[in-house]
């Protein structure tokens, strides 16, 4: 029975990326849900390597910290002086003296690389028993890239960096993608023979191929089916170009799986997000992080979701959500903000200019507009009127509010936590509730209304208001002032302050 191949992956991630002009190392630049390094490690994952070594240099501590998060099994190895790619690989192999079989070397800035391509490269290398195999690509513009130089029979002769290439070699359009497979033993031997006799004064890993050819060792070239996936980036302009290419790849894959993306050019979906069949993604939408969109949900236009779950048949319109959970059939927006731990149950509604944080909105409950819901539990079928504030913070601690099932909170109400409004209870519009309201009771804290006759004429003479009041009084006669006690008698007492507590003047839908 054939023995499985032992494999080692080496990722070169020591470069500074000066042209990025960033405090962040180049390999940590973000790109649709992963860093450049994260994309490369993901592409290499299906190889099932026995060990992964990441050569770090500039920003080493930042890169190490990132590796601890995304690939804790990887071994970071420091290249304190950047003396070339050959030097970097030698340091990596010194850290794993037990390595045998195949070693795969990948530059850390090729985020569009597909796992299938890496697997095919290694399969070809091992099938042919080659000492070394390079991944090549035919590109429209090879400027700045190393060239693949073949002999008259089409076999690899050498790999030449552009700065060291002759005019004829610079005219070649087959380039080195910076991804290789080597036999470890023969690679170790060749690395010990590298020189720095080149324009940069560095040890080029690509010179290993020339040494192996001169020694009569078999070397191979594996050509990528799509040159796009071999593209690297050196500055933010090129990074933006890669972002667009990856966006198009991701969007196409989702559309072919049954997702409707109405405007692919303005839709940005991280590679870590998930979208179910028959979901509709409208224009100007970003799905970031671990966001999940359920079947038949409608998201957008103008929506950003970060690490948010949107249930089947839910709708999110012109809103922003971070770490939220929108239940099946729920409705969000427009212009809502769901903060971490906002959980909306099935069929609930969070409407226009509503902010929800660390709160549960029960099944069928509604917070239609202009409200803040923080640290709260809202029961099923409850209705929260416009301009309701859940007052949760005393300057030191956060406190929780509970609104019971089918409770009815009037407009312009402050619920001062910790407080509970019982099931089926009502709160009158304009109240500030700081004590519990029992189930089925009415909570009201309105002060009596009074009118001070003649105030405008005395305090605002000569204004447009004074003139309007004077005209009204001349046309209809003086308005009789009503005392507080008379008002209560006329309108039936405190239980019907304001002409009776109806849905129309207590809350809004």
From the list 66, 87, 125, 369, the catalytic residue is: 369
Give the Cα separation of 415 and 404 in Å (integer): 13
How does DSSP classify residue 9? E
Residue 369 is among the residues annotated as catalytic for this protein: yes
Of 148, 131, 136, residue with least CA distance to 188: 131
Residue 67 near residue 54 (C-beta atoms within 8 A):
yes
Alpha carbon 80 to chain centroid, angstroms: 33
Orientation angle between helical segments 36-44 and 115-128, nearest 10 degrees: 50
Residue 293 near residue 272 (C-beta atoms within 8 A):
no
State the virtual CA torsion across 419, 424, 429, 432 in degrees, nearest 10: -10
Give the Cα separation of 479 and 407 in Å (integer): 38
E strand or H helix that includes residue 287: strand 285-288
What is the chain's percent helix, strand, coil content, to nearest 5?
A: 25, 30, 45
How does DSSP classify residue 27? G
Give the Cα separation of 16 and 390 in Å (integer): 49
Burial of 127 (0-12, 13-18, 19+ CB in 10 A): exposed
Phi-psi region of 187 (alpha: psi -120 to 50; beta: other; left: phi over 0): alpha
Of 294, 292, 320, residue with least CA distance to 308: 292
- Burial state string for 437-476 with b = 16 or more CB within 10 A and e = fewer than 16: beeeebbbeeeeeeeeeeebeeeeeeeeeeeebeeeeeee
E strand or H helix that includes residue 350: strand 349-357
Give the Cα separation of 246 and 115 in Å (integer): 14
Residues known to be catalytic: 369
């Amino acid at each position: 029975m054939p023995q499985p191949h032992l494999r080692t992956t080496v990722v070169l991630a020591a470069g500074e990326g000066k042209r990025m002009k960033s405090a962040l190392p180049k390999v940590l630049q973000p790109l649709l849900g992963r860093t450049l390094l994260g994309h490369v490690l993901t592409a290499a994952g299906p190889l099932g390597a026995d060990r992964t070594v990441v050569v770090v240099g500039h920003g080493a501590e930042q890169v190490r910290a990132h590796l601890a998060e995304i690939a804790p099994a990887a071994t970071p190895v420091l290249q304190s002086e950047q003396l070339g790619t050959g030097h970097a690989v030698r340091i990596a192999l010194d850290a794993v003296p037990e390595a045998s079989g195949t070693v795969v070397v990948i530059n850390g800035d090729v985020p569009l690389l597909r796992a299938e391509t890496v697997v095919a490269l290694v399969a070809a290398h091992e099938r042919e028993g080659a000492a070394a195999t390079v991944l090549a690509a035919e590109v429209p513009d090879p400027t700045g890239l190393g060239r693949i130089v073949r002999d008259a029979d089409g076999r690899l002769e050498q790999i030449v960096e552009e700065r060291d290439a002759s005019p004829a070699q610079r005219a070649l359009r087959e380039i080195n993608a910076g991804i290789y497979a080597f036999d470890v033993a023969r690679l170790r031997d060749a690395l010990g023979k590298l020189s720095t006799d080149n324009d940069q004064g560095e040890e080029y890993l690509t010179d290993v191929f020339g040494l192996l050819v001169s020694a009569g060792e078999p070397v191979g070239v594996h050509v990528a089916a799509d040159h796009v996936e071999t593209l690297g980036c050196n500055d933010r302009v090129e990074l933006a170009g890669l972002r667009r290419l990856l966006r198009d790849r991701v969007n196409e894959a989702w559309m072919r799986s049954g997702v409707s993306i109405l405007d692919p050019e303005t839709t940005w979906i991280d590679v870590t997000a998930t979208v179910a069949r028959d979901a509709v993604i409208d224009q100007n939408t970003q799905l970031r992080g671990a966001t999940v969109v359920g079947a038949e949900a409608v998201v957008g236009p103008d929506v950003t979701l970060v690490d948010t779950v949107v249930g089947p048949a839910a709708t999110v319109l012109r809103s922003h959500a971070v770490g939220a959970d929108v239940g099946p059939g729920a409705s969000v927006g427009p212009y809502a903000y769901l903060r971490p731990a906002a959980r909306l149950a099935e069929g609930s509604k969070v409407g226009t200019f509503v902010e929800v944080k660390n709160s549960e909105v029960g099944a069928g409950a509604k917070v239609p507009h202009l409200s803040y819901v923080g640290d709260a539990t809202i029961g099923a079928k409850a209705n929260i009127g416009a301009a309701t504030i859940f007052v949760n913070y005393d300057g030191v601690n956060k406190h929780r509010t509970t609104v019971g099932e089918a409770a009815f909170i009037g407009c312009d109400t402050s619920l001062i936590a910790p407080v509970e409004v019982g099931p089926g209870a009502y709160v009158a519009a304009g109240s500030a509730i700081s004590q519990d309201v029992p189930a089925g009771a009415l909570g009201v804290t309105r002060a009596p209304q009074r009118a001070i006759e003649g105030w405008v004429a005395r305090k605002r003479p000569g204004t447009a208001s004074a003139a309007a009041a004077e005209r009204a009084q001349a046309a209809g006669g003086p308005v009789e002032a009503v005392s507080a006690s008379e008002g209560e008698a006329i309108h039936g007492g405190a239980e019907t302050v304001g002409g009776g507590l109806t849905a129309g003047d207590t809350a809004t839908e």
